[in-house]
Amino acid sequence: MLAELDRLGRPFDEHAQPTHVTASAIVVGARGVVLHVHRRLHRWMQPGGHVDPGETPDEAVLRECREETGLSVAHPAGGPLLVHVDVHPSAAGHVHLDLRYLLWAPDEDPAPAAAESQDVAWFSWDEAIDLSDEALEGALRSARRLIDASRS
C-alpha cells in the first residue's frame, strides 16, 4: 500500500487513476458486528466506499457507513482508529487501497438509505467471520483483538 501511495498523484480521487484509496469499517456495538450485502458483489461485507472530493478517509467512512447501514456510527472516543488495510482488485480494472476503521454503532436496527442494499444485519463475531472472505476475516480478528485488549 505504501508503495502505491508514493506513486499516486491523487490517491483519493477515484477518477484520477484506476488505483485509489477507499475507506471501510468494522462496525461494532452491543449486538456484535454489522455487515451488509454488497449490491454488485452480492456477498456479505463491511460497509464503506470511495472518498469524495474534500473528504478525508476517516470522514468518508462515517458517511458511507451511515448511508449503507442507517446507523449513527461514530469513531471511538479517542478518535479514528485504523484496524486493517487491504489492497484488492475492484470493478472496471480498479484497485482499491482500503483503509479499514473501527466504528461504534448504537443498539438500533439498521435502516439503510433507499438506494442502498437493504440486506444489512447484526451478526455475532463468529457469524461475521464465517460469512467473510480472508481479507475481511483479518480485519474482524484485528478489531476483535483491539476491543478485547481495551476491556482487560
Full residue range of the structural domain in which residue 146 is found: 2-151
Total number of domains in the chain: 1
pLDDT tens for 74-101 read 999 999 999 999 988 777 778 889 999 9
- CATH number where 45 lies: 3.90.79.10
Distance CA(27)–CA(75), nearest Å, equals 10
Half-sphere exposure of 73 (CA within 13 A, CB side): 32
Q: Please, are residues 8 and 20 in contact by the beta-carbon 8 Å criterion?
A: yes
The yes-or-no verdict on residue 35 having pLDDT over 80 is yes
Helical residues (DSSP H) of 2-133, grouped into ranges:
2-7, 57-69, 125-131
15 pLDDT band (50/70/90 cuts)?
A: confident
| pLDDT, position 92 | 75
User: Which pLDDT score is estimated for 9?
Assistant: 81
| Grid cell in block for residue 149 | 485488549
pLDDT at 61: 97
* pLDDT above 90: residue 59: yes
Report the pLDDT averaged over residues 3-15.
79
Give the model confidence (pLDDT) of 111-133 as tens digits: 998 988 889 999 999 999 999 98
Cα(first)–Cα(last) distance of the chain, in Å?
32
Tell me the pTM: 0.91
Residue 48 has pLDDT above 90, yes or no: yes
Confidence band for 67, pLDDT divided at 50, 70 and 90: very high
Residue 40 has pLDDT above 80, yes or no: no
